[in-house]
A and B are shown apart, each in its own frame.
Chain A
Amino acid sequence: MSAEAEAAGNGFNIHPMDQFVVKPLFGHGDIGVFTITNVTLWMGITVLAIIALLVLGTRGRAVVPSRSQSIAESIYVFVHKMLEDIAGKEGLKYFPYIFTLFIFILVANILGLIPGAFTTTSHIAVTAVMAMAVFTTVTLIGFYKNGVGFLGLFWISSAPLVLRPILAIIEIISYFVRPISHSIRLAGNMMAGHAVIKVFAGFAGALGVFSVFPIVAIMAVYGLEMLVVCIQAYVFAILTCVYLNDALHPGGH
């Protein structure tokens, strides 16, 4: 098989990164701030899908839920419980925010798995905005709740006085590390999985009969992607809860 693959050599037509190109939907030309692109389209579809699930799906308000209502309810309860476990009762005030984040990432990720779809969460521009929103919110909540005392998070009183300014700088940098690593991780995970599928698909086109193997591999990777997609949404939400908890109770855990 490998000999044949080598023989095909330049015949391979693999462009794994083409699927991440942002294009304007109408006409050609430069992409400005308000250009409607495929990202806009798929974000819109994400929002519509969420509305369909949460608003239309639960319209019946049945005691014995229909299938869509039961999905919506179990997601709701799942996020609610997660937030309560991590950030306690005070954290529940911020439930709408966490839930919005979770459901948006989850649905955007799942829609991205539809063949031919555009994965909005594979772009750092998208995930970084979400991470920055979380970061700003949590920092503001921290200052609002604890006043200037929130800065105590960076001032390690157990260290010798000479070292404290240096440690403060280190602490401040490490405070910024996590939101960035967050957004990189979410985007990277989505991008990597989709690129791998595309590469296998490129093999399948060039191998003739032996394309069975790449197709089986695609199925396996696709199954893994289903798992990754849900876990990434979960991880993003759970880490937001952890930040929130840090901001609400700095120092003491």
Chain B
Amino acid sequence: MTDGPDPKRLDALSKKLEAARQAKKPVKAEESHYTAARVGWQMVTELVVGLLLGFAIGFGIDHLLDTRPWFMLIFTMLGFAAGVRTMMRTAQEVQEKNLTKDAKAAPIGKDKMYDDD
């Protein structure tokens, strides 16, 4: 029987590992691409839904009170504001998430930088 690990096989294995790691990288990039698109869509739907919801509420009130188009106009504007508000909140959440991600990734590099200074 052979003694200890065969260096040739170890080399081959490390090459394979490297190849596997390389193969994984583009997948990640594509995923982040997709995430960006997803956030975009989320914001768009929120904006539109806010507008439509405001319109629907106004339309309903008008229908009950026979005051068309006044509540419709007012609530469409309020709905638009609500849509923007939701959208901004989503944007804020995404930003916060990115910040915490960066903060998690950064410290090691940062400490070194401060030490050098």
Q: Which A residues lie within 8 Å of B42 (CB)?
A: 181, 185
Asked whether, in the complex, the Cβ of A177 is within 8 Å of the Cβ of B50, the reply is: yes
Asked whether, in the complex, the Cβ of B86 is within 8 Å of the Cβ of A178, the reply is: yes
**Interface mask (A145-174 → B, CB under 8 Å = 1, otherwise 0):** 000000000000000000000100111011
Asked whether, in the complex, the Cβ of B46 is within 8 Å of the Cβ of A170, the reply is: no
Asked whether, in the complex, the Cβ of B34 is within 8 Å of the Cβ of A174, the reply is: no
Contacting residues of chain A (180-226) with chain B, CB-CB under 8 angstroms = 180-181, 184-185, 188
Distance of A130 Cα from B86 Cα, bound (Å): 20
Chain B binding surface, main DSSP class: helix
Q: Interface residue count for A (Cβ, 8 Å)? A: 17
Closest residue of B by beta carbon distance from A185: B45
Is B15 interfacial (CB-CB < 8 Å)? no
Closest residue of B by beta carbon distance from A228: B34
Give the distance to chain B from A200, nearest Cβ to Cβ, in Å.
Answer: 20
Is A33 interfacial (CB-CB < 8 Å)? no
Q: Which B residues lie within 8 Å of A174 (CB)?
A: 50, 82-83, 85-86, 89
Chain A binding surface, main DSSP class: helix
Q: Which A residues lie within 8 Å of B57 (CB)?
A: 173
Closest residue of A by beta carbon distance from B50: A177
Is B91 interfacial (CB-CB < 8 Å)? no
Asked whether, in the complex, the Cβ of B46 is within 8 Å of the Cβ of A176, the reply is: no
Partner of B53 from A173, A185, A188, A235 at Cβ < 8 Å: A173
Is A126 interfacial (CB-CB < 8 Å)? no
Asked whether, in the complex, the Cβ of A177 is within 8 Å of the Cβ of B83, the reply is: yes
Give the distance to chain A from B9, nearest Cβ to Cβ, in Å.
Answer: 26
Closest residue of A by beta carbon distance from B79: A173
Partner of A181 from B45, B54, B89 at Cβ < 8 Å: B45
Size class of the contact patch on chain B: 20 to 34
Closest residue of A by beta carbon distance from B30: A227
Q: Which A residues lie within 8 Å of B38 (CB)?
A: 231, 235
Q: Which B residues lie within 8 Å of A184 (CB)?
A: 45, 49
Distance of A174 Cα from B41 Cα, bound (Å): 17
Distance of A227 Cα from B81 Cα, bound (Å): 33
Give the distance to chain B from A162, nearest Cβ to Cβ, in Å.
Answer: 15
Q: A170-B85, A171-B85, A174-B85 are in contact. Are A180 and B78 (CB under 8 A)?
A: no
Q: Which A residues lie within 8 Å of B82 (CB)?
A: 170-171, 173-174, 177
Give the distance to chain A from B73, nearest Cβ to Cβ, in Å.
Answer: 14
Contacting residues of chain B (56-93) with chain A, CB-CB under 8 angstroms = 57, 78-79, 81-83, 85-86, 89
Distance of A171 Cα from B84 Cα, bound (Å): 11
Give the distance to chain A from B47, nearest Cβ to Cβ, in Å.
Answer: 9
Distance of A178 Cα from B49 Cα, bound (Å): 8
Max chain B Cβ within 10 angstroms of own Cβ: one of A171, A174, A188, A227: A174
Asked whether, in the complex, the Cβ of B78 is within 8 Å of the Cβ of A173, the reply is: yes
Closest residue of A by beta carbon distance from B96: A253
Asked whether, in the complex, the Cβ of B78 is within 8 Å of the Cβ of A170, the reply is: yes
Distance of A180 Cα from B89 Cα, bound (Å): 16
**Interface mask (B32-50 → A, CB under 8 Å = 1, otherwise 0):** 0010001001100110011
The chain A residues found within 8 Å of chain B, CB to CB, are 166, 169-171, 173-174, 176-178, 180-181, 184-185, 188, 227, 231, 235
Of the A-B pairs whose beta carbons lie under 8 Å apart in the complex, a sample of 14, sorted by A's number, is: A170-B82, A170-B85, A173-B53, A173-B54, A174-B85, A174-B86, A177-B46, A177-B50, A177-B53, A177-B82, A181-B86, A185-B42, A185-B45, A188-B45
